[in-house]
Chain A
Amino acid sequence: MESSSMIIQQVINGISLGSIYALIALGYTMVYGIVKLINFAHGDLLMVGAYAGYFVLRQFGASPLVFFLAILFAMLVCAVFAILIERFAYRPLRNAPRLNSLITAIAVSLILQNGARVIPFIGPNPRQYITLSTVMVDLGFVSISNIQLLVIILSAVLMILLTYIINFTKTGKALRAVSWDMKAASLMGIPVNKTIAFTFALGAVLAAVGGVLYATAYPQINPTMGTMPGLKAFVAAVLGGIGSIPGAMIGGYILGIAETMTKGFLSSQFADAISFGILIIILLVKPTGLMGKNMRVKV
């Protein structure tokens, strides 16, 4: 069956893209859940991660071991960036109106993008990403590349790890408590500032992995590369219900599959419009997203 194998092929491509979206979306959703801020700079952390990985790969060549080293280094760099950004840009505004933090987030995003553009060793020009050599694994009726396999498995492992951290560790409990009620949590002796910084770092770590994987799958990087996957991942987070962690994962996969399906069967130009269209339709039908909780307005 020609068409059914084609569909399965597209689904696999979609899951691979969707895993990356899900990884990035988790960062958005965690930060939103805890400080109610759309962290527009999150997509640019992806860019930072991709560049951090790029320099490691360029230094040591592309072998599987170096690739994991690159991911680790990217995680470290992004975590440091996220903690600094949280400390100096977002924390002073935590009690300010929501709009102000939103504008600050946009400003931080512009600083990261334009900063990368003026730093001499990054520069505005796009670069070819150094990746592992592609090997196709043939599964009879569909074939899957080693990179896609890596993306899917690594993201799944990370998401399981994240679920474990959030549900079964002390820090995770603190994180949930702070997102539930910041003041009550601080009265219970939970270090709110540390927990929030940890959340940002956790999101940034996932974004770093997402960045390296995205650059591996679409091997070209430039300072504005984070904007589009960032927006898409944000759409995924809203789609799943922003603030909900399983929602972000599901949203990521749905968006990834919808996008590759559109590219494969309809028209590749309208893929972006389709993903935003899905977002709009979902929000109209269920304004809090697929797994979001309804908030009652009290007078």
Chain B
Amino acid sequence: MKKTLASYRNLVIPGCFALAAVILPSIGIKIGIIDAYIAQVITLAGINAILAISVNIVCGITGQLSLGQAGFMAIGAYACIILTETAGIPLPISILLAGLVTSGAGFLIGFPTLKLTGDYLAIVTLGFGEIIRVFLVNLKSLTGGANGKRFTNSSAVFLSLNADIAYLVIIASLVLIIVFLQNFIRSTYGRAILAVREDEIAANSNGIGVFKYKMTGFVIASFVAGIGGALYAPFIGFIKPEMASFNRSIEYLIFVVLGGMGSITGSIIAAFVLTYLQEFLRFLRDYRLLIYPLILIFVMLFRPQGLLGMKELSFVKTWDNFRIFLKNPAKFKVIKDKFTSNKGEKDAK
């Protein structure tokens, strides 16, 4: 059988979109089409999206409510800054190491807490988030205390000064995380985790070790959160213990809830839209702080499953629909209905 380009379409179409999403805006920033302010907002949205994915892995995919995810982000950020500044490890390696450190912390914290369920788990993760914050404030020699810590290392400062490189690095990491995650969810491990989410008792009686898979999901989520934090630190150049606060965790949870629990694309879209909205609504001054929760309540009342529910957006399917639409607009509706299944492809932005 001859392998044509068409047989690679599941790889090629999303790949093209992903490359476009990573490279085009980066060039745009470099030559000045996109100004520095917007670049900053988009890149920050990318970090928020990484964190939203992390929360989504715990809440949407593993089905455990965590209210302390910002604590892991803070661990990642501090680990990155300490490894680069104090230990003198080059930035890319220290970002990866920070992810590993955070997943280690996730393992240690998950070990006692994941035996709890529901509201109790939520409150214990909240407690751990606060404990992390208290430790960051008080371990002054290592973390700089309540005043936070600043990057001085040249390779890190380079990232916060060059908007195009920062965008490239952060959005590329986001894309990589999405690719790995989408593949992970379809592996046997991923399917087992989904089974645990759907029904713990049924999964357990089918020979799936519930605790083991909850732990797998939790550790992966902490790894992603750690990477998010480790990217945040050099991008902003300055971190404070407030990163670990309860309000931060809630903010990321809001992205996930609005985008749809269990939908990776949904939480990414929500992260980008809401981060932008936050900047866009600046003219309302403090009143914009009221809009966020009001949106949240209305979504809960009228579309409780969030923007996308558990569905994913798919580039391949969008592309197909687009081509069918070009050929025969009248037929489009029928075929579109036939195609609305819930297995998605990856999405970059």
Contacts and interface: CB of A to CB of B under 8 A. Distances in A.
Contact residues of B: prevailing secondary structure: helix
A227 B134 CA distance: 15
B301 A103 contact: no
Interface string B125-165: 01110110011011000000000000000000000000000
Contact residues of A: prevailing secondary structure: helix
Given A93-B301, A283-B116, A287-B120, A276 B127 contact: yes
Contacts of B296: 103-104, 106-107, 110
B297 to A, nearest CB: 5
B65 interface: yes
B293 A111 contact: yes
A277 B131 contact: yes
Contacts of A242: 119
Interface stretch (B8-16, B284-292, B331-339, B341-349): B284-292
A104 B127 CA distance: 20
Contact of A97 (B112, B254, B304): B304
Contacts of A284: 112, 115
B297 A104 contact: yes
Interface residues of A, number: 44
A110 B292 CA distance: 9
A38 B135 contact: no
Nearest to A36: B119
Contacts of B137: 269
B329 interface: no
B40 interface: no
Contact of A272 (B120, B124, B134, B250): B134
Contacts of B257: 99, 103
A103 to B, nearest CB: 5
A117 to B, nearest CB: 6
B122 interface: yes
28 contacts: A38-B119, A38-B123, A92-B301, A93-B300, A96-B304, A99-B65, A100-B304, A102-B65, A104-B297, A106-B253, A107-B293, A110-B293, A110-B296, A114-B289, A235-B127, A238-B123, A269-B137, A269-B138, A272-B131, A273-B130, A273-B135, A276-B130, A279-B124, A279-B127, A280-B113, A283-B116, A283-B120, A284-B115
Given A98-B119, A273-B130, 9 more contacts: A100-B300, A110-B250, A114-B289, A117-B289, A118-B286, A118-B289, A242-B119, A267-B138, A280-B124
Interface of A: 32, 38, 89, 92-93, 96-104, 106-108, 110-111, 114-115, 117-118, 124, 227, 231, 234-235, 238, 242, 267, 269-270, 272-273, 276-277, 279-280, 283-284, 287, 297, 299
